[in-house]
Chain A
């Protein structure tokens, strides 16, 4: 019987549109995080190295308890490393005052977490504008930026609705718009497609990807291979360490940079 040859696929396209040329947006160096002490001590991360360059989307996968969420909260300055350092745009988060850290978080970081945390008394646009206003941006400008962000995630028509007038998927997109509003340099996402159906999930990944293609750095924690597939690089965590990676950081400099080169993983083998 005549049979068909195995699938023929085009050669892999190069990862990322334009290779970034600047310094990493996120650099984690020898980061260890220990929770508790004594017999109940839990080591969430052990000496983790990771860099994310502008334009890169990096996905983190690993079994539960491998340290994925800890990694994300440390990268976002929501938690402090027991040892090692976290740099965002070259600034060591551990050396910032609480106030300076809060300002950097509002200005440079966007979070998409499973918990949406939209303010029920504010419209979608007001929710999205909130971090910009807190950062001193004039109300009108903040609103314009908010509408732009809502447009980016495809829900501009929801601008004047309140959270309880939206479906779960719509709320999720508004939360994502809030994470992307303004000139965020680093977007952190923890299972951002949690409550969404597969078509909407694809849209969310497309938005994240587009933001990274436009120059932001993205760090995505997920257990879904199909979402991690959008990343330039997938890093695998186990027991608080990087055990493997699907590639090297996608910049030419990283090859010359000792720190950057070792982050791709496999070093612990």
Chain B
């Protein structure tokens, strides 16, 4: 009998060619521009889609194979975690509040990204870009699902996770991630790619997934670190798509450069503002800390972003306009964001607290120029007040930035003791902004942002009360009505961690061992 000859497989490069070229067709009885209405109107000129190349050269067959293996690994861990009561092994119950923010504010973005890439993939006329978008669309759906599955185990034991989808569409701070993504999805497919693949995935996403997930590992949360790194293994492909798409667009036509630059300016800043919440999670919400936000910013944004923009200079692309202000903000934004949620914790379905003495020391050491001078005194004061039974809650609704929708908490660059105020008029109405960059985003496209659903204004317009509410009856309590509309369980989901059911339960489950919290 003849020796079995191993059938020779195509090499990676020809295989990629075979699986991503010539799969499309030119329409005959309908105009191509009618079938693909979105791939020209943004002004981006593409002359040769065949120049699009996925550097990993991943094809759909290999994609399914590796994704299947990732899923098997992940679900084995999730099962083991639940079977072994892994929720009892976390550093302390404060940590779970980071997961609450994750399921409330990050996971829904995965779902938005799934929809966004499905849309972009449908509307590009180039096959390479369509295949890459299709894979990413499926990845993002997988991320949403694996996060929901992982965190559902915590939802059995802790408050603040039971209505996350309902909250995403209503609760004040969740309008920040929601409006970010809706802004991206209502751009055309090219702007969407520059917004999400390049500015967010390539430049900023490491800051979300890498140090934070390392932090989850450090805090004993085996299931989150596994979904996080499993998602991040897709993320490295997404980042590659991000850098590929920008090179491709810039090389296709010199007229694309100015359009792309404006999108980079816009989306870097929008992404940076969105990450304020991640900065706070890292510095305040991980009881055991891996690195500070500032260190992560220096490692993943400054050095890596610096290399990237040095490289893109050959196309005439410069670093985003907000770059220097963002770098200056590394000493401040985590503290400013934490103070915001401490202020408004009555209306937020997760817990905040004042850092304990050891944490204050860590913050002082990591932020030698700013923490002791500007932030520590207020947290110490809060702690003292709380000990006397006077936990500080801000009871007046804040002024919001029209663009990023974050309360106007950010400082004037170079002057950390002052709030940065910017404003402009559009058709006889005043609009306010947290920064020059949010203002510029608005003035470039005012018609888009005058439509913003700002939670504070919506409350004052009477649109955030349960149906049938009569705000004119005597003794009407607007805050209670808003919380009712949010479906927040008052006294369980909200308020200080020190006074929470989560804390009490966790202590009982652990046999009465007290974690170190203030006050």
Instruction: Decide if A and B are genuine partners.
Output: no
Chain B residues within 8 Å of A, Cβ to Cβ? none
Chain A residues within 8 Å of B, Cβ to Cβ? none
